[in-house]
Amino acid sequence: MNLFTPIVSEGQWHPNFLAIMKARNGYNCDVINDWAKGFIDRDRKFVKEFQTSFNSCFWELYLNAVFNYYGFSIDWGHPSPDFCITKPIEIIVEATIASNEKGGVPESLTFKSNIPSDLNEFNRKTIIRLSNSIHEKYKKYKSKYSILSHVSEKPFVIAVAAFDRPYFFMTCQRAIEALLFEYYVNEEEYIEKKEKAEPLIGNYIDEIIKDNGSPIELGLFSKNIMPEVSAVIFSSAATWGKVRALSNDPNPFIKFDALRYNPNSANPHKIEAFKQGYRESLLDGLRIYHNPHAHFPIDHLYFKNKDVFQVYPNYITQEYNFDLREGFLLFRKVHTGLKQESMG
């Protein structure tokens, strides 16, 4: 695939693709082309969609790179779902994203937007968008995918990312963990406290309320609402900032601000470094949430990696196990020339 040779007029370009074409940074394009290795454009629409809608294609390319990193074999002989992994284990993965609501401000305008002033409201809206996307794919699985011979009786995974609003990458795990497990940390309440050294403790909430007053039930996994979904793959760090972190761009004025998990405090480790001194892996920030009620569970060992966060059930203790190391990437922002901010 030749992703960066325009096949549609500039007026049809997605703002993110327009930004790429204006920057003309071959180092960044090299990363995307590397992510695309082995990826098959089965319906011959991918390049056009990459240039016109961008985010969903970007997420699929990232997932392709992740699966290549793990050494998974993918059967591209079926038109859908998105990834039919055949070795070392059979897993069906359907990719989706949460986009901005109709009339909402798109994530591409982050550089023109203010940082969210209310994290609870910010997360509530992202929960709604993620819920819509996951439920849509779940319905598609029930009505279409589950009866396909290459899908039936195999673990089904939904890989979702939120590109739903400016500063979307700031949601980190708050929205997805509330949606799947009812677990939510009220950071606004924590910020109001004078003492901030204690660990962040979350609460369990059953639902959130949409703008129209209707409720959205939380706990898709903890309440056994979607047993057909074996796991959810999520990342708020798979952004253009990931591309810039992995590229060989020699520009000495690219600066990274990152927050990494600190098990000893509610305050994360803060990293400020120019590119030559900054390190980030492809998998940094990747999260995999396993469904304790899955009809076809996946052994977490297939995805085990020091840079990958996993939640999976312990069927003996009836509790959850967590793979989470000190230094796990939570959040990252990129600056160029100490003035111009990246897309996250």
What are the structural domain ranges in the chain? 10-250+289-306
For residues 335 and 344, give the distance between their C-alpha atoms in angstroms, rounded to a whole number.
9
For 78-132, write each residue's pLDDT tens digit: 999 999 999 999 999 999 999 999 999 999 999 889 999 999 999 999 999 999 9
- Which DSSP symbol is given to 234? E
Structure confidence at residue 338 (pLDDT):
47
The β-bridge partners of 273 are 256
Q: Is 272 left (phi over 0), alpha (psi -120 to 50) or beta?
A: beta
Nearest to 138 by CA among 294, 286, 285: 294
C-alpha distances (whole Å) from 61 to each of 44, 100, 246 are 15, 21, 14
For residues 164 and 100, the answer to whether their CB atoms sit within 8 Å is: yes
Structure confidence at residue 339 (pLDDT):
45
Structure confidence at residue 230 (pLDDT):
98
Measured in residues, the chain has a length of: 344
For residues 272 and 257, the answer to whether their CB atoms sit within 8 Å is: yes
Nearest to 50 by CA among 103, 119, 98, 1: 1
Token output for 31 = 């990363």
For 206-239, write each residue's pLDDT tens digit: 999 999 999 999 999 999 999 999 999 999 999 9
Token output for 258 = 């990152």
Chain centroid to Cα 197, Å, comes to 28
Low-confidence ranges of the chain (pLDDT < 70): 194-199, 338-344
Mean pLDDT (the chain, rounded): 94
Q: Hunting for tokens 């059967």 — which residue is that?
A: 75
Q: First CA to last CA across the chain, in angstroms?
A: 25
